[in-house]
Structure 1
Amino acid sequence: MSDEHKPDGQTPEQPHDQSYDASTGPSAAPEPPAPEEPTQPLAGWPDGRAYGRPGSEDIAPAGPPPYGSTYGQQQPPQQQQQQPAPPQGQGPYAPAAPTVPFAPPGGPGGPGGQGESMYFGPGPYPPAGYPRQQRPRPFPLWAWPAIAALALVVGVLGGLAGGALQDELASQRGTVDNGLDGVRTQSAAPLDADNGSVPAVAQALLPSTVQIVAEFDGQAAGATGSGFVLDREGHIVTNNHVVASAAEDDGPIVVIDHEGKRHEATVVGRSAVYDLAVLDVEDGEGLEPAALGRSQVLRVGDPVIAFGAPLGLSQTVTSGIVSALDRPVTTSGESDDESSYINAVQTDAAINPGNSGGPLVNLAGEVVGVNSAIATNGGSSGEAGNIGVGFAIPIEQVITTVDQILRTGKAEYPVIGAQVRTGGEPDSAGATITEVMPDTPAERAGLLKDDIITAVDDKPVNDGIALIVAIRTHLPGDTVEMSVIRGGDEQVVEVELDGKVG
């Protein structure tokens, strides 16, 4: 069955439910009556016109089906004369199925009016009311600028989000969701607790000790220090002052392991107030982590061994004893918030410039502190060296700060929101408050200017440095009891510590 040709512009005049007979055509003809069409295909249909197009110049197939005029139009007399059909089985074609023009719904010209013919050829007819193909609605031109603007906005926002994500990932390289619980540390001591051999400790710990070379004030390799391997993921613990300049200037940091292999390193996070930093080294998974011990079980006189690279001399080992415990020590920084206050382990093991960040180890081969500072005699003959008074950050504080850095890339320290006098009080019986800031833990606890704090959780406080050190051994959110003298009367107040990043 050939495709339907649908005319345009004609109003329907007849109902669509006309009945048709396959041999005689419509049961009722439209007004005016349509000319009678042949009921059999005729050989040699005159004129060779295309379907329903009188006088068409198009080339039409020879022979049936018959080529008639538009349905409902009058034919010239010579075209209405029926010619005899060829005998059965003779002529160019054999008899075909009866064929009549299909009257479209609504009368002559179909639903849309006159102007084009409609012919379905031989065979069954399509149902009346054959749906007219709908032309697609053109896309409005005004929408294209809106789509382009939307695509531009999406592209810009996507670029900004991608850049922010990249910066965030870059700044958080080396962090671990679970902190120390999410990395593979060395839990067992490499030696027995009653081991008395310094050479055995040296053999156990040297593979875990590294030298650090960092940029300082724009000078490559201007700073040297030490560190130790924290875990099998390649994290290194060292002092903040060893890498602070390189971290601020985004300068190069190189970690040199015990075999002399150099590793590029980046800073995961650092704390100026505790003088600690955590590095992440490339290809550091093969490094051997050091075991972590406890400084709280140390006694004055216990043997300890210091590891590091003093004066750039890597893999150096010195030994001594614990000279004192809970020694309040401060190192100056660019501001009070960046000054390091340490509740230190004091030792007479030789510690020199370049030892900073290296481990202080007990005879079981466990790290009990991080070498950080040395006392000097105040001379001006260049950089001071060892005089037998060195200080290490207790491993308990190291574990707390390192865990915070691994989780977030930052460390917090506790504060009370008050200023205290830190010098010039040789006969002081405690720490004198010089200022209380508004809306701080100190104000909420009722502390006032000129109050003298003599103890924190029953531990005596002799001066301002001792008070700061005592507070910083706690965590933000802890509640501590402070013994306070005001106007000659002593009272105890509870202070809930606030936190600050640094």
Structure 2
Amino acid sequence: MTENQGERPEDRTPEEPQVGGEAVWQPPRPTTPASEGYPQPVPPAAGPAVAAPQTPAPQAQTPQTSIPPRPQAPYGQYAFGPAVPTGTQQTVPFADSTPPAGRQKVGAGKVVGIMVAAAIVGGAAGLGGAYAGASLFSTSSSTTVAGPSTVTVNDTDAVNQTTGIAAKVVPSVVTISASNGSTGGTGSGVVLSEDGYVVTNTHVVTLDGATADATITVSTSDGRVFDAEIVGTDPIYDLAVIKLTDAEGLTPIDFASSADLNVGDTTVAVGAPLGLSNTVTTGIVSALNRSIQIASSAAPETTEDDTQDDGNDRTPPFYFDFGDEGQQTTATETISIAVIQTDAAINPGNSGGALVDDEGALIGINVAIASAGSSAEAGSIGVGFSIPSDVVQRVTDEIIADGTATHGLLGASVTPAASVEGATISGAYLADISAGGAAEGVGLQVGDIVTAFNGVPITDATDLTAQVRAAAGGSDATITFVRDGETRTVDVTLGELG
């Protein structure tokens, strides 16, 4: 397959589990004093006791016009939730909405309350053995939990690290409602700036690729509602930036470097699965540098130079509906992305939300989940995926500056080495070299097997495509490959995906 453009939906074999490099155990860092880091707990005020919050029963909404179901396929599904009517966002008292000056850990006794938006995070992708449902976008009716919900820490001596993380992160997560005619859906986004730049998934703002002109409204955790416009989308990595109209005083998320993660590190996801706003789930980093295929929400048109062929004929994991002007209902392209795998629960209705570390700093934007069943409403099985924060930061910076993002181009058609007769190692087999491309320029040849890209192990064609796309166009990279049984390395300046 050329690692250019999106892959064709043909014969995709599930990629092997992998971890980038060795996961090195590190001793836990000391917890900061209770006076530092996160909003401080406030003892309950004297006075009448406050009754425990009552959660209203889910209410069915008016059925929506159906979106044609996407093709069924193995592995995963997008966790893009049903539409939630404007005005159902929930707010609760919050001790201190001002973010801490530094990224400091939280100890016991940190937080009194949490003000949480009806945030949503995304998901759909897969691993071997799982089964993909159709889009998790609502096609008939949807439910929501309406009304205010107050979260109070009754015992400040019993609060834990997650309590503080939630208090810090929730003000930086917003609810996004997108609609076009009688169709609509909700997702979430993460605040990038005080004046209203927000990152989310492309499939949230395009309604799984069904439209290029959705009406977008955004609700913040303090109850404000804004109109929003799309600044730019990046279908190659399923990221988008929107700008809230006349926004000020928002709470930007802190970024951590995803390159510093280890398998086993703490993860916290914030979102509104199944319309249940203010949901915080915890887990660990299950794997790094996982590569998955998802259907593109708006992949660029394929040209002869961009055709990607991985030598397989299987249906890809799942699809976005996308096409010309967002109106075509059958996905014909897939994208390969490198992701963080986590067991923090990510469910339908979580698209575009935050995955953070033990200091409440962003390590990923949730994009996909694996499903063990065929139901479009299947939930978390502990296998969720997030776009790494380093990619998120690069792509969003480029979109805000230029309206578009760049991606690397190697200039080679690749296929899994395991599919080549006589192959004794795994990797990405170079089946064809494009004239004048980056690969040809550094002497790569047909028959070479790429085994690492910038130090990240490459086990098949999807791995190589995902890693090349994660890099910026024109950036430098180091490729490790095997030729005639000999391992070699070469430095290459990537081209730019057109």
Q: Determine if the alignment matches structure 1 residue 474 to structure 2 residue 456.
A: no
Partner-residue secondary structure (3-state), 1:398:
helix
> Structure 2 residue aligned with 1:192, among 105, 114, 125?
105
Partner-residue secondary structure (3-state), 1:249:
coil
Partner-residue secondary structure (3-state), 1:412:
coil
Is contact 1:187–1:292 with CA below 8 Å preserved after alignment? Answer: no
Q: Compared with structure 1, are the counterparts of its residues 439 and 187 closer, same or farther at alpha carbon in structure 2 (3 Å cutoff)?
A: farther
Is contact 1:425–1:463 with CA below 8 Å preserved after alignment? Answer: no
Specify the alignment match of 2:437 in structure 1: 440
CA–CA separation in structure 2 for the residues paired with 1:454 and 1:231? 39
What residue ranges of structure 1 are gaps of 5+ in the alignment?
1-184
Partner-residue secondary structure (3-state), 2:352:
coil
Higher-helix-fraction structure = 1
Is contact 1:191–1:201 with CA below 8 Å preserved after alignment? Answer: no
Q: How many residues align?
A: 314
> Structure 2 residue aligned with 1:273, among 236, 258, 272?
236
Specify the alignment match of 1:152 in structure 2: none
Partner-residue secondary structure (3-state), 1:343:
strand
Deviations 1:143-194 (A, max 9, x none): xxxxxxxxxxxxxxxxxxxxxxxxxxxxxxxxxxxxxxxxxx9794464366
Q: Determine if the alignment matches structure 1 residue 288 to structure 2 residue 201.
A: no
CA–CA separation in structure 2 for the residues paired with 1:486 and 1:302? 37
> Structure 2 residue aligned with 1:456, among 444, 453, 456?
453
Specify the alignment match of 1:212 in structure 2: 176
Q: Compared with structure 1, are the counterparts of its residues 481 and 223 closer, same or farther at alpha carbon in structure 2 (3 Å cutoff)?
A: same
Q: Determine if the alignment matches structure 1 residue 420 to structure 2 residue 414.
A: yes
Is contact 1:210–1:229 with CA below 8 Å preserved after alignment? Answer: yes
1:128-167 alignment, distance < 5 Å: none
CA–CA separation in structure 1 for the residues paired with 2:478 and 2:417? 24
Q: Compared with structure 1, are the counterparts of its residues 292 and 489 closer, same or farther at alpha carbon in structure 2 (3 Å cutoff)?
A: closer
1:47-446 alignment, distance < 5 Å: 188-189=101-102, 191-192=104-105, 196-215=160-179, 218-220=181-183, 222-245=184-207, 248-333=211-296, 339-377=334-372, 379-421=373-415, 425=419, 428-446=425-443
Is contact 2:417–2:449 with CA below 8 Å preserved after alignment? Answer: no
Q: Compared with structure 1, are the counterparts of its residues 316 and 189 closer, same or farther at alpha carbon in structure 2 (3 Å cutoff)?
A: farther
Is contact 2:416–2:427 with CA below 8 Å preserved after alignment? Answer: no
CA–CA separation in structure 2 for the residues paired with 1:201 and 1:362? 8
CA–CA separation in structure 2 for the residues paired with 1:458 and 1:345? 16
What residue ranges of structure 2 are gaps of 5+ in the alignment?
1-97, 109-159, 300-306, 309-332
Larger Rg: 1
Whichever residue aligns with residue 200 of structure 1, its letter is G
| Deviation, structure 1 residue 229 | 1.0
Whichever residue aligns with residue 228 of structure 2, its letter is A
> Structure 2 residue aligned with 1:465, among 462, 467, 472?
462
Partner-residue secondary structure (3-state), 1:421:
strand
Deviations 1:418-456 (A, max 9, x none): 121259749752101222222211222222333211222
Q: Compared with structure 1, are the counterparts of its residues 456 and 266 closer, same or farther at alpha carbon in structure 2 (3 Å cutoff)?
A: same
Q: Compared with structure 1, are the counterparts of its residues 432 and 253 closer, same or farther at alpha carbon in structure 2 (3 Å cutoff)?
A: same
Q: Compared with structure 1, are the counterparts of its residues 266 and 492 closer, same or farther at alpha carbon in structure 2 (3 Å cutoff)?
A: same
Whichever residue aligns with residue 267 of structure 1, its letter is I
Is contact 1:305–1:361 with CA below 8 Å preserved after alignment? Answer: yes
Is contact 2:417–2:427 with CA below 8 Å preserved after alignment? Answer: no
CA–CA separation in structure 1 for the residues paired with 2:435 and 2:339? 32
| Deviation, structure 1 residue 489 | 4.3
| Deviation, structure 1 residue 376 | 1.7
% identity of equivalent residues: 41
| Deviation, structure 1 residue 363 | 2.5
Partner-residue secondary structure (3-state), 1:296:
helix
What CA RMSD, in Å, does the superposition of the two structures yield over aligned residues? 2.7
Deviations 1:366-425 (A, max 9, x none): 111111111122x32233321001111111111111110010000000011112125974
Whichever residue aligns with residue 204 of structure 1, its letter is K
CA–CA separation in structure 1 for the residues paired with 2:265 and 2:248? 33
Partner-residue secondary structure (3-state), 1:192:
coil
CA–CA separation in structure 2 for the residues paired with 1:247 and 1:269? 16
Whichever residue aligns with residue 233 of structure 1, its letter is D
Whichever residue aligns with residue 357 of structure 1, its letter is G
CA–CA separation in structure 1 for the residues paired with 2:100 and 2:182? 38
Deviations 1:42-64 (A, max 9, x none): xxxxxxxxxxxxxxxxxxxxxxx
Relative contact order higher in (CA < 8 Å, ≥ 6 apart) = 2
Specify the alignment match of 2:481 in structure 1: 484
